[in-house]
Chains A and B, each alone.
Chain A
């Protein structure tokens, strides 16, 4: 089942946390540092770092406040990092990329 907007996920291998701003059309195997992400508020008792360290090549890090999407051109997925960390976000083995946002002028 695709994730709902507002769903919050966390990494098993670092401090990274994300929120789903826009879900992908299909179900995705979202990972951070090579390990599956865990839904925050779920029953999981896996502690931060319990999944080991980020896998080589998936240790470029995730930046606080940045938006991420899938590398394919028509990816609708949008994740927002609410906490940064050492692991790289990926869908399966393919790293997510930064999503360029159109700057909007401040209105209030």
Chain B
């Protein structure tokens, strides 16, 4: 049961339909199958242990992914926005890799020992290669490795096995469920689990995929219109940009039937604006984690419509729900002792099912003895079984769908001569889901301005790590053993009665 089985079914079942690109001139499902069979030969000749992809999302992405699957080699898409040093760190963990990289990133890689090919060179070599039969792979062989930043700055690779991903598809997608005119617009980055999920579910459903590698709202709206896009998946930050651009009027998206969103907390004002801007379009809130092979719960179109159409605050509150578990997934909310909580009580969300991996490379499985995975999200359920996420059980900041470990930023800031102590926390933000707030205690007698500290971080880390706010404090709350009381600090920041007005510069 491997990913190549899904490809094989799609290539024969939706053979002449267009799988990737524009309706005229795109790649058909049977052509995608043929290209993957030839790509597998190119990979097989080098006998790598991993196929690493460093590039933008686009038609090459599923071709490389399925070529690797057919060759029986694990596929590891890396974040192309990482610095050279960070990329080298991750590549160091992926011994004996074939690296396929977009031409602008090949230059970053020549010092590395592994074989490097540009994406274009790989596609070209595959076009000239003879086809291979799909390699026999065990159900529990690794299909995809995805790096997640987790709570520490050191990224961990989540292991998604063939059986996890095929289980996700077989339990949530009907083969060929897409009408012939359907097209999905994919704007998520290729190293995100949603990119893996969309490549598989659109393939299996028989839906054409149009890519937008570098998101901007204007191009997104233009593609939705020009490509007759019928469904699109966005992170909240993207939807915020789109509705801001649309303003008061309805969007010009005549073919659009469905918008699914996920990846981070969706600000209510953005969702309500979107429901007004896209009348008649179905909305789906998809909740999932890298460790669960994408979506494990969803709030469907009727739920959105009922909630949005109601004046009853209790019914309307369902717009903030992640919905109910998908088929094949069990969910349980547990208290600190591991016992299930009552309806309405907040606890830790645990899930179980064939698509759940819960396993990290070099660290093993974090599933309990009965196969349950701790999401580390706090949640409660209502009487109808709808789930509501109350926040992360750990401290990861999710800004614009990107997981950010506070420690990474704290480590940089504390190295500045004027910084005596610092805590980086996430605060609710209507555009980004969360914004990065650095709470700084200054060294006595050293002056430093907000912009200088922000610039200091920007020079040393990726742009998305730059604090949105710097808040000055005389001291930070710590335990007697010196451990930062992060939640107490967040609560203080949210309390208007504290002296924020006198200590915040912006």
Binding site for B on A (CB under 8 A): 5-6, 8, 19, 21, 41, 64-66, 80, 82-83, 101-108
Q: Contact: A106 with B201, CB < 8 Å?
A: yes
Contact partner of B284 (CB less than 8 A), chosen from A64, A80, A107, is A107
The B170-209 residues at the A interface (CB cut-off 8 A) are: 170-177, 184, 188, 194, 197-198, 201-202, 205, 207
Contact partner of B197 (CB less than 8 A), chosen from A41, A82, A83, A108, is A108
Residues of the A chain whose Cβ atoms lie less than 8 Å from the Cβ of B207: 106
Q: A64 CA to B29 CA in the complex, in Å?
A: 15
Measured CB to CB, the nearest residue on chain A to B205 is A106
Q: A8 CA to B294 CA in the complex, in Å?
A: 25
The B212-239 residues at the A interface (CB cut-off 8 A) are: 231, 233
Residues of the A chain whose Cβ atoms lie less than 8 Å from the Cβ of B201: 106-108
The B442-458 residues at the A interface (CB cut-off 8 A) are: none
Q: Contact: B170 with A80, CB < 8 Å?
A: yes
Segment at the interface with A among B5-13, B95-103, B384-392? B5-13
| Dominant secondary structure at the A interface | loop
Give per-residue flags for B133-164: 1 if the beta carbon is below 8 A from chain A beta carbons, else 0.
00010010000000000000000000000010
Q: Contact: B13 with A65, CB < 8 Å?
A: yes
**Residue of A5, A64, A65, A83 most packed against chain B (CB within 10 A):** A65
Measured CB to CB, the nearest residue on chain A to B286 is A107
Q: A98 CA to B26 CA in the complex, in Å?
A: 34
Q: Contact: B301 with A105, CB < 8 Å?
A: yes
Give per-residue flags for B278-304: 1 if the beta carbon is below 8 A from chain A beta carbons, else 0.
000010101010000011001011000
Q: Contact: A64 with B198, CB < 8 Å?
A: no
Q: Contact: B233 with A65, CB < 8 Å?
A: no
Q: A41 CA to B136 CA in the complex, in Å?
A: 10
Q: Contact: A82 with B9, CB < 8 Å?
A: yes
Given A107-B284, A108-B197, A65:B9 Cβ within 8 A: yes
Measured CB to CB, the nearest residue on chain A to B199 is A108
Q: A66 CA to B163 CA in the complex, in Å?
A: 19
Given A65-B9, A65-B13, A104:B173 Cβ within 8 A: yes
Q: A21 CA to B328 CA in the complex, in Å?
A: 10
Measured CB to CB, the nearest residue on chain B to A8 is B1
Residues of the B chain whose Cβ atoms lie less than 8 Å from the Cβ of A102: 327
Shortest B70–chain A CB gap in Å is: 15
Q: Contact: A6 with B9, CB < 8 Å?
A: no
Given A21-B171, A108-B198, A108-B286, A103:B177 Cβ within 8 A: yes
Q: Contact: B184 with A106, CB < 8 Å?
A: yes
